[in-house]
Chains A and B, each alone.
Chain A
Amino acid sequence: DTAVSQTPKYLVTQMGNDKSIKCEQNLGHDTMYWYKQDSKKFLKIMFSYNNKELIINETVPNRFSPKSPDKAHLNLHINSLELGDSAVYFCASSQDPSDNEQYFGPGTRLTVT
């Protein structure tokens, strides 16, 4: 009965490949997020999304794109992977902007070789 789940937990791939990370929440929340944690443990927002709008952090390359098949899922697609994309990616969700306590998934460690 995990609240926010991500797959895979680990992902090793080569430069230039395209990959996806899946995220699902069973909390009935309206808003989902993707965060990136770099090698220095710094966490930074990449996207936030609800059924009305997608908000993209301006520093995120357009090789990254979120896809939401339904309210419970927000997948992260990454095209043309680069070495600098290696990081831990966290998915999170919250009820709605007025009740914004965010709950995080376990993270996906992406290694680009």
Chain B
Amino acid sequence: GIQVEQSPPDLILQEGANSTLRCNFSDSVNNLQWFHQNPWGQLINLFYIPSGTKQNGRLSATTVATERYSLLYISSSQTTDSGVYFCAVEPRYSGAGSYQLTFGKGTKLSVIP
């Protein structure tokens, strides 16, 4: 099946710093999503971005589908940004299971005051 690798696995930032999280995937995709799992365990949708660039406040994401990677940018980080960031992809192949998401192992972000 498709492989999803996220880097770095852990990241510690001083409040106010910027960061870039990376997601590499091994095959073509129909769908790519970024999620934030907060310390209470809730999975929050950040971006639905199979290709192109999107921005939402301090967060933005870019997916270069032809090169099989996506980047999540966090600017002016805040302590509330702490948690685990997951990249998840839906592989582009027909047949059973073609719309199920495969998750990466996540990047654990800790923002310290």
Interface, chain A (partner B; CB < 8 A): 31, 33, 35, 40-45, 48, 53, 55, 57, 88, 90, 94, 97, 100-104, 106-107, 109
Contacts and interface: CB of A to CB of B under 8 A. Distances in A.
A53 to B, nearest CB: 8
A77 to B, nearest CB: 20
Contacts of B88: 43, 102
Given A41-B106, A43-B86, A101-B31, A55 B43 contact: no
A100 B88 CA distance: 12
Nearest to A102: B101
Contacts of A57: 97, 100
Given A55-B100, A57-B100, 16 more contacts: A40-B105, A41-B37, A43-B103, A45-B100, A45-B101, A45-B102, A55-B97, A57-B97, A90-B43, A100-B99, A101-B31, A104-B43, A104-B45, A106-B42, A107-B41, A109-B41
Given A100-B90, A102-B33, A94 B99 contact: yes
Contacts of B97: 45, 48, 55, 57
